[in-house]
């Protein structure tokens, strides 16, 4: 609950940050494989308030008693402790496009960008004129042997990430073949899609365009061992956003009400202080 926790100017600043994160989640609700962000707060230590102009402790033959009773607690503010990404699985959508890929389970695909290799959950790829599987920015999907180059209608990707082609056709993009004409009589393994993980994904740095970069806190990219369960790769599917619109709208309403409450509280205290100063005898 937001009531009674985030008060004062610090609370207004914290609510503004939460509103920014919530609005960003809603703005990317239709983005392929988008992962929502969550704000974590921490409060400063509370102070005990005692009545003024009292002696503190009184003494009797039976012991002592408190003649400066506790009035209550004073909160000293709140701040944003962390904004982190939640990597829960998003719903899968069937697109029937051979170049669309979705990961079912924990893990990331690897895309070669102009800044180096980056992790991504977005599998919205297409074939460029050179036959490479690339994303909307033109960056290629990486296999274990490098960028994946195939011929249109001559590649199949298994759930394990193996890329097979018909060896009789090859992977020259200039050779045009229809899907119905491909009988897959000479099926050969071309490559395997890179699937990587990190030890602490919540500490990955979100760069935008569905890319994530490793940090010292997240740990480096790692391959899955034989004892672990790597994610399934589903050809012809896309993972949708894991943002729940209803939940984010409720969060937005709560943040707005908490912000207005803090604003009204500051205005009230300011008015009381102004009245007190004006009425003090000079």
Q: What is the pLDDT of residue 67?
A: 57
Averaged pLDDT for residues 197-205: 93
Q: What is the pLDDT of residue 275?
A: 77
Rounded-to-integer distance, Cα 123 and Cα 114, Å:
18
Position 121 pLDDT exceeds 50: yes
Q: Angle at Cα 256 formed by Cα 42 and Cα 259, nearest 5°?
A: 55
End-to-end CA distance of the chain: give it in Å, rounded.
45
Rounded-to-integer distance, Cα 251 and Cα 51, Å:
38
**Most confident among 118-132, 164-178, 257-271 (mean pLDDT):** 118-132
What is the number of alpha carbons within 13 Å of residue 124 lying toward its C-beta? 16
Distance of CA 151 to the CA centre of its chain: 35
Of 51-60, 147-156, 173-182, minimum mean pLDDT range: 51-60
Q: What is the pLDDT of residue 4?
A: 42
Position 139 pLDDT exceeds 80: yes
Rounded-to-integer distance, Cα 214 and Cα 219, Å:
6
Position 59 pLDDT exceeds 60: no
What band does 265 get if pLDDT is binned at 50, 70 and 90?
A: confident
Q: Are 36 and 5 in contact (CB under 8 A)?
A: no
Closest CA relative to residue 78, chosen from 12, 22, 23: 12
Position 63 pLDDT exceeds 80: no
- Tokens, residue 126: 């297409």
Rounded-to-integer distance, Cα 266 and Cα 143, Å:
57
| Residue given tokens 């919205």 in the structure block | 124
Torsion sign (Cα): 160, 144, 101, 195: positive
Closest CA relative to residue 75, chosen from 40, 49, 42, 45: 45
Q: Domain locations in the chain? A: 1-86, 92-239
Q: What is the pLDDT of residue 52?
A: 63
Q: Residue 229 burial by CB count (10 A; 0-12/13-18/19+): exposed, middle or buried?
A: exposed
pLDDT in tens, 26-53: 999 999 999 999 988 877 777 777 666 6
Distance of CA 181 to the CA centre of its chain: 43
Position 8 pLDDT exceeds 80: no
What band does 5 get if pLDDT is binned at 50, 70 and 90?
A: very low
State the average pLDDT for the chain: 84
Position 204 pLDDT exceeds 90: yes
C-alpha to C-alpha distances, 270 to 3, 4, 267, 277, nearest whole angstrom:
21, 19, 5, 11
Q: Are 28 and 239 in contact (CB under 8 A)?
A: no
pLDDT in tens, 156-190: 999 999 999 888 887 777 776 777 777 777 889 99
């Amino acid at each position: 609950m937001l009531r009674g926790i985030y008060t004062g100017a610090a609370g207004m600043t914290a609510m503004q940050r939460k509103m920014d994160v919530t609005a960003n989640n809603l703005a990317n609700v239709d983005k392929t494989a988008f992962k929502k962000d969550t704000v974590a707060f921490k409060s400063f230590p509370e102070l005990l308030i005692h009545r003024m102009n009292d002696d503190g402790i009184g003494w009797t033959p039976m012991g002592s008693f408190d003649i400066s009773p506790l009035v209550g607690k004073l909160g000293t503010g709140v701040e944003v402790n962390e904004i982190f990404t939640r990597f829960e699985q998003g719903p899968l959508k069937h697109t029937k496009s051979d170049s669309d890929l979705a990961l079912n389970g924990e893990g990331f695909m690897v895309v070669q960008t102009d800044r180096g290799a980056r992790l991504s959950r977005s599998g919205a790829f297409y074939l460029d004129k050179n036959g490479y599987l690339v994303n909307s920015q033109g960056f290629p999907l990486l296999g274990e042997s490098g960028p994946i180059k195939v011929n249109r209608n001559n590649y199949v990707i298994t759930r394990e990430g193996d890329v097979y082609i018909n060896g009789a056709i090859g992977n020259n993009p200039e050779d045009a073949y229809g899907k119905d004409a491909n009988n897959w009589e000479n099926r050969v393994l071309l490559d395997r899609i890179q699937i990587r993980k990190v030890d602490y994904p919540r500490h990955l740095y979100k760069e935008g365009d569905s890319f994530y970069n490793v940090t010292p806190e997240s740990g480096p990219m790692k391959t899955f061992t034989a004892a672990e369960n790597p994610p399934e790769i589903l050809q012809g599917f896309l993972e949708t956003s894991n943002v729940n619109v209803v939940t984010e709208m409720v969060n937005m309403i709560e943040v707005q009400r908490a912000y207005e409450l803090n604003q009204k509280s500051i205005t009230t205290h300011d008015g009381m202080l102004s009245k007190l100063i004006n009425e003090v005898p000079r």
